[in-house]
Chain A
Amino acid sequence: MNRKKTIKIKDIVIQIPVALVLVILALMVLIPVVWMTFSAFKPEKEIISWPPTFIPDSFTLQNFSDVQVRIDIIRYVINSIIYAGGTTALAVVVNCMAGYAYAFYDFKGKTAMFLMTLATMMVPFQVIMVPLFLVVYKMGMYDSYWGLIIPRAAVAGSIFMMRAAFTGIPKEMAEAARIDGLSEYGIFWKIMMPQVKPAVITLIILSVNGSWNDLLWPMIVTSSTKMRTLANGLALFIGQNTIEYGTAFAGALISLIPMFVLYIFGQRYFVEGMSSGGLKG
C-alpha cells in the first residue's frame, strides 16, 4: 500500500462499494448462525414473543436439558460418532491402500480398475439410492452400523487424491525398504503412510465432516429410533408439526459445535480438500 502514495479517486470509488458488498455477504452468512446460537439460550417464552429478539434478554440452559427429554440426543450423538468415526477409519484404510497401489505398482488390469474407479465418480448418489438400499437390505445390513458405514467407505475422489499424494514419493524409497527386508505391507504402513500425512488428515477431516452432516444415507438405511444420527434424528424431529423451537435450536447447536471446533483447527485442510475436489462437498 505504501508503494503508491497517490491513491486514485477511481480506486476509492470502486473500493468502498466492494468492501460494502463483502461485508454484507459476511453478515448474511453470520447472522443466521449467530441468531440460532443465541436463540438456543433463550427461554421458549422469549423465542415465541413478537417481535423476536436478536441478543437474548434472559439466559437459560433449559433447552439443552429439554432436548434430551424430547429426543434421545445423547444416543444420536453416539450414533453420529460411530458413523463418522467408522466410515472415516475404513475410508482411510481402503482409499489409501488403493491410492498407493495405483501410484506404486504396475499390475494387470490396473488401467481398467482405475478407469472403473473414476467412472463411479460420475454416478450420482441420488440416482442409485433405491437399488443401493436394496443391496444393503438383501445383505442383511439394514438398520445397522455396518449398513451405515461399509457402503460409504470407498470414495473414488479420495482414492484419486491419495494416488496423487503417493505419486510424489520417489520409488527408490520403496526399493530401499525392500532391500532392508520390509514386507510390502510394512513398506506401505511404516514408510509410505507417514509421508502422506497432510493428505491423510485432509481425508479424515472431510470424511468426518461429510458423514457427520450426512442426512440422506442415514435416512435411507436406518429405521429404528435407536439407530438415528444427529442430522437424521433432528431432521425428523423438526419434521413433526408440533415443535418446540428452543429444543430445535439447542439440538442444532449441539450438532454444529464439533464441526466448528474441527473447522477452527483444520481450516487449511478443509480448504485444500474441497478446492482439490478430493471429496464431494
Chain B
Amino acid sequence: MERVRKYWNKPSRSAYVFVAPSIILLILFSVIPLIMAFGLSFFDVPITMNTAKFIGWDNFVEAFHDSRFLNSLKVTAIFTGLEVPIQVLGSLIVAALISKNNKRNKFLRAVYFLPVICSATVIGIMWRMILHSNIGFITAAMQSMGLGKINFMNTPGLTIYVVSFISIWRSFGISAIIYVTAIQQVSPSLFEAAEMDGAGKIRQFIHITVPSIRPTFWYILMTRFAGALQIFDIIYVTTNGGPNYTTESTVSYIYSRAFSSNSSMGYASAMSVVLFIIIMFITVLMYHRMNKEE
C-alpha cells in the first residue's frame, strides 16, 4: 500500500491520475458516441438494439426523400434565420445601452438575465399559458386592443415566429451580458477622444464599440448559430412540432425517430450526421471569415 502511494506521488505520474477521470469520461461519453453516430448511420438498428444490419448509404438516401426530414431542415433554417440575427444584433444594441455601471443598468441586467434560471419546461408553461387562446393574458390583452383573438400557439405560419420569439426571450439576456462585459473592457480613452471630436453616441457605437468587440460578436454569433441549429427543448415544451409539423425542427424529428414507438436508431443517426455536417460547415465558414477579419 505504502509503495503504491509512493509510486503515484511522483509529479510526473500523479498528473495522469488528475487527468484520467476527465479523459475517460470524455472519451466514453463524447468521443465514442460521435464516432458511433457516423458508424450507426450505415446500419439498420431495430428497437430491440440487439442486432444491426449494414445497409450502406440507404439511411441517407431515405433521409433526402423523407418530406418530414426536409421540412424539418426548412423549419430549422427559418428558425435560425429569425432567431440568430435578431438575438445577436438586438442584444448588442441593448448591451450598449446598459453597459455603464449604474444602479438602473445593474437592475436591468439582473432582469434581462432572469430567463437563464428558467428551465425550458417553465418557459414552456408560462408562454403556452400566457399566449393560450382560452386562458392567455396576452391573448386577452391583444383582443381588447382590437387585434382580434390570435391563436398564437396553433396557427400554421405564425407559430414558428412565436417559437422564435420565445427562444430570443430566453437568451437575449445572456448575449447582452456577454457583450456588456466586452464593452466594459474597451479603453475609456477611446470614447473620451471621440467625445472631444464631437462624435455622438450613435457614431461612438458604430466606430468604437462595434469594432472593439468583434471577437465577442463572433463568439456569440457562432455559439448562437450552433445552438439554433440544434433547437429542441423550447419546441418540445411549447408546440411539440405542431401545428401540422410547421415548427418541427431537425432535432425534434431526430428525437421522435430515435425514441418514440417507431424508433429507428440508425436512421436517426444518419439525420444527426447530416445535421453535424451542416453545423460544422457553417462554423468553419464563420471561423474562416473571422480570421480573415482579424
Query: What residues of chain A have their CB less than 8 Å away from a CB belonging to chain B?
Result: 10, 14, 18, 21-22, 25-26, 28-33, 35-36, 39, 47-48, 50-52, 54, 93-95, 97-98, 100-102, 105-107, 110, 113, 116-117, 120, 122-137, 150-151, 153-154, 156, 159, 183-185, 188, 209, 212-216, 219-220, 230-232, 234-235, 238-239, 245, 248-249, 251-252, 255-256, 259-260, 262-263, 267, 270-271, 274-275, 277, 281
* A-B CB proximity, top 8 nearest: A213-B119, A131-B36, A101-B18, A105-B15, A154-B25, A98-B22, A184-B14, A128-B33
A127 touches B174 (CB 8 A): no
**What separation, in Å, do the CA atoms of A137 and B263 have in the docked complex?**
15
Nearest Cβ on chain A to B244's Cβ, whole angstroms: 17
Majority-rule SS of A interface residues: helix
A126 touches B18 (CB 8 A): no
Nearest Cβ on chain B to A176's Cβ, whole angstroms: 14
Given known pairs A48-B135, A120-B30, A281-B171, the reply for A127 and B116 (CB within 8 Å) is no
Cβ contacts under 8 Å, A248 to chain B: 125, 129
B236 touches A132 (CB 8 A): no
Stretch at the interface among B60-68, B154-162, B206-214, B275-283: B275-283
B258 an interface residue at 8 Å Cβ cutoff?
yes
Q: Which of A32, A33, A110, A122 has the most CB of B within 10 A?
A: A32
Nearest Cβ on chain B to A15's Cβ, whole angstroms: 10
**What separation, in Å, do the CA atoms of A43 and B149 have in the docked complex?**
24
B49 touches A101 (CB 8 A): no
**What separation, in Å, do the CA atoms of A93 and B178 have in the docked complex?**
27
Cβ contacts under 8 Å, A22 to chain B: 94, 97-98, 108
Given known pairs A50-B134, A120-B31, the reply for A26 and B174 (CB within 8 Å) is no
Nearest Cβ on chain B to A242's Cβ, whole angstroms: 14
Partner among B121, B137, B173 whose Cβ is within 8 Å of the Cβ of A235: B121
Q: Which residue of B lies closest to A238 (CB)?
A: B125
10 residue pairs A–B, Cβ–Cβ below 8 Å: A25-B112, A36-B125, A123-B34, A131-B37, A134-B40, A159-B22, A213-B117, A215-B120, A235-B236, A271-B177
A127 touches B276 (CB 8 A): yes
Interface size, B (range): 35 or more
Nearest Cβ on chain A to B267's Cβ, whole angstroms: 10
Which B residues, 109 to 150, have Cβ-Cβ distances below 8 Å to chain A? 109-122, 124-130, 134-138, 140, 143-144
B186 an interface residue at 8 Å Cβ cutoff?
no
Q: Mark B10-34, 1 if CB is under 8 A from A, else 0.
A: 1110111111011101111111111
B251 an interface residue at 8 Å Cβ cutoff?
yes
Given known pairs A133-B258, A185-B14, A238-B124, the reply for A47 and B137 (CB within 8 Å) is no
Partner among B98, B237, B283 whose Cβ is within 8 Å of the Cβ of A215: B237
Partner among B26, B122, B134, B272 whose Cβ is within 8 Å of the Cβ of A156: B26
A235 touches B169 (CB 8 A): no
B181 an interface residue at 8 Å Cβ cutoff?
yes
Cβ contacts under 8 Å, A25 to chain B: 94, 108, 112
B233 touches A215 (CB 8 A): yes
Nearest Cβ on chain B to A78's Cβ, whole angstroms: 17
Given known pairs A126-B251, A184-B14, A274-B116, the reply for A216 and B108 (CB within 8 Å) is no
Q: Which of A36, A220, A234, A260 has the most CB of B within 10 A?
A: A36
Given known pairs A107-B15, A154-B29, A271-B177, the reply for A259 and B117 (CB within 8 Å) is yes
**What separation, in Å, do the CA atoms of A281 and B112 have in the docked complex?**
14
A48 touches B114 (CB 8 A): no
Cβ contacts under 8 Å, B22 to chain A: 94-95, 97-98, 117, 154, 159
Q: Which residue of A lies closest to B129 (CB)?
A: A245
Cβ contacts under 8 Å, A52 to chain B: 135-137, 140
**What separation, in Å, do the CA atoms of A98 and B110 have in the docked complex?**
32
**What separation, in Å, do the CA atoms of A230 and B34 have in the docked complex?**
29
B108 touches A252 (CB 8 A): no
Q: Mark B227-259, 1 if CB is under 8 A from A, else 0.
A: 101101100110010000000000100110011
